């Protein structure tokens, strides 16, 4: 079924305005010098402007909107929670995230394609979800007086999941929660877990021409990184290989100075739930190669199985993490969305409008299925 003209215009309006109005100044940010590299440091798209846009947009359409403050991060950020009718209690929740990874890339329409930061991850999902809910209201498959479906668009998904953690404070529960992330229109059967690894080395500064009395922290760190890269990480049949990405490396002040400090951050995509075993393997591999390196694991989460008991969808197992494990409660979880993860977080992030149209239908089917069951 083709979405109606009104759905497409809504989709296009919400999408283009939301992205065009997101705050490039905030996205560019002010440089600073973190001690331990964060997952997504300078240049994070915080979702402030898009949050304000969504609040206005949904209020104009009769939703009650609560802009929930979320502590931490770089200042004022808010989740957007919206529902119809007098009660915030609904059977189904549709949710995605409105923050983006750095750097900000301006929104641009090229023919039938939408380019720019967040088009795929995850404002395409946000726009398609809103269009699907609006369309289900028009066809009376979602009751306008409320109780069926609520919308939640969180901040912080790309940087510590503070937004979804705060959403637990809403004190609400649902029968089913439909998460929006780029799955190429497939229904996810599960996704890999995550283990963040911080490495730090301390040296002793000195003149590069006389290295003997000093200690080179970068040398110490690099040996540790070599050990990390050779660690034998576990695999599983359902999730495949556990993979490692060394994503940040920092240290030193000048080429003629022995560096006193060096640090690195890596992210492991876990294919097994043996999280503690994997930490032990990594620690041993680093320390065998370079005993002086400090190893910390700021965050870990095992692989996440996801419900996929809905007819008519291809299914997929994903290598990336989502907010699914951060929302507490005893609900069914579905994960679906437009666009490919292979262009998300890249400088060529884009999708075709036709992909959004298909996603509107996909979300309609998932919401409809959740309301029929139970």
Report the nearest approach of Zn ion to the CB of residue 121 (Å): 4
Report the nearest approach of Zn ion to the CB of residue 62 (Å): 28
Binds Zn ion (CB under 5 A): choice among 27, 92, 122, 231:
122
- Cβ-proximal residues to 55 (8 Å cutoff; 6+ apart), any chain: 65, 67, 80
Report the nearest approach of Zn ion to the CB of residue 338 (Å): 12
Please state, in angstroms and rounded to a whole number, the distance separating the CA atoms of residues 318 and 189: 8
Report the nearest approach of Zn ion to the CB of residue 20 (Å): 20
Nearer to Zn ion, 54 or 122 (CB): 122
Nearer to Zn ion, 134 or 181 (CB): 181
CA-nearest of 143, 105, 139, 145 to 121 is 105
Binds Zn ion (CB under 5 A): choice among 22, 99, 121, 184:
121
Please state, in angstroms and rounded to a whole number, the distance separating the CA atoms of residues 233 and 230: 9
Stretch that binds Zn ion, among 1-9, 73-81, 115-123, 293-301 (CB under 5 A): 115-123
Nearer to Zn ion, 48 or 123 (CB): 123
Please state, in angstroms and rounded to a whole number, the distance separating the CA atoms of residues 193 and 270: 5
Number of residues that bind Zn ion (CB under 5 A): 3
What mask, x for binding Zn ion by CB under 5 A, covers residues 161 to 190?
Answer: --------------------x---------
- Answer yes or no: 181 catalytic: no
Q: Applying CB under 5 A, does 18 fall inside the site for Zn ion?
A: no
From the candidates 49, 157, 181, 184, which is the catalytic residue?
Answer: 157
Report the nearest approach of Zn ion to the CB of residue 157 (Å): 6
Nearer to Zn ion, 91 or 117 (CB): 117
Nearer to Zn ion, 3 or 156 (CB): 156
Nearer to Zn ion, 99 or 148 (CB): 99
Report the nearest approach of Zn ion to the CB of residue 101 (Å): 8
Please state, in angstroms and rounded to a whole number, the distance separating the CA atoms of residues 309 and 316: 13
Report the nearest approach of Zn ion to the CB of residue 234 (Å): 26
Nearer to Zn ion, 22 or 121 (CB): 121
Pull the structure tokens for residue 98: 């409105």
Stretch that binds Zn ion, among 7-15, 118-126, 284-292, 301-309 (CB under 5 A): 118-126
CA-nearest of 51, 58, 129, 47 to 96 is 129
Q: Which long-range contacts (CB under 8 A, 24 or more apart) does 279-288 make?
A: 279/195, 281/231, 281/232, 281/233, 281/234, 282/195, 282/197, 282/228, 282/231, 282/233, 284/231, 285/227, 285/228, 285/230, 285/231, 285/232, 286/199, 286/224, 286/227, 286/228, 286/231, 287/224, 287/227, 288/227
Residues near Zn ion, by CB under 5 A: 121-122, 181
The set of catalytic residues is: 157
């Amino acid at each position: 079924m083709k979405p109606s003209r009104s759905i497409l215009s809504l989709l296009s309006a919400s999408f283009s305005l939301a992205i065009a109005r997101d705050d490039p100044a905030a996205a560019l940010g002010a440089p600073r010098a973190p001690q331990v590299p964060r997952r997504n440091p300078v240049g994070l798209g915080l979702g402030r402007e898009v949050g304000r846009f969504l609040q206005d947009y949904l209020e104009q359409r009769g939703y009650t909107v609560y802009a929930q403050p979320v502590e931490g991060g770089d200042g004022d950020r808010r989740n957007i929670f919206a529902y119809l009718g007098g009660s915030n209690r609904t059977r189904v929740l549709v949710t995605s995230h409105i923050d983006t990874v750095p750097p900000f890339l301006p929104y641009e329409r090229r023919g039938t394609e939408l380019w720019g930061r967040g088009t795929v991850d995850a404002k395409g999902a946000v726009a398609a979800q809103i269009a699907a809910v609006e369309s289900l209201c028009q066809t009376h498959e979602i009751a306008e007086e409320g109780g069926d479906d609520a919308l939640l668009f969180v901040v912080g998904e790309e940087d510590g999941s503070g937004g979804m953690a705060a959403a637990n404070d809403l004190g609400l529960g649902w029968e089913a929660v439909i998460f929006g992330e780029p799955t190429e229109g497939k229904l996810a059967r599960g996704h890999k877990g995550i283990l963040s690894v911080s490495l730090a080395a301390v040296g002793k500064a000195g003149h590069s021409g006389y290295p003997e009395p000093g200690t080179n922290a970068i040398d110490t760190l690099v040996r540790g990184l070599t050990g990390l890269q050779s660690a034998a990480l576990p695999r599983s049949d359902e999730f495949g290989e556990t993979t490692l990405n060394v994503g940040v490396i920092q240290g030193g002040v000048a080429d003629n100075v022995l560096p006193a400090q060096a640090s690195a951050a890596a992210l492991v995509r876990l294919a097994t739930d043996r999280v503690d075993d994997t930490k032990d393997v990594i620690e041993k591999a680093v320390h065998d190669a370079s005993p002086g390196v400090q190893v910390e694991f700021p965050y870990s989460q095992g692989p996440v199985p996801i419900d996929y008991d809905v007819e008519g969808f291809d299914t997929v197992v994903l290598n990336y993490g989502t907010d699914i494990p951060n929302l507490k409660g005893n609900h069914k979880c579905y994960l679906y969305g437009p666009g490919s993860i292979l262009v998300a977080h890249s400088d060529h992030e884009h999708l075709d409008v036709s992909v959004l149209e298909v996603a509107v239908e996909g979300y309609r089917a998932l919401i409809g299925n959740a309301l029929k069951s139970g």
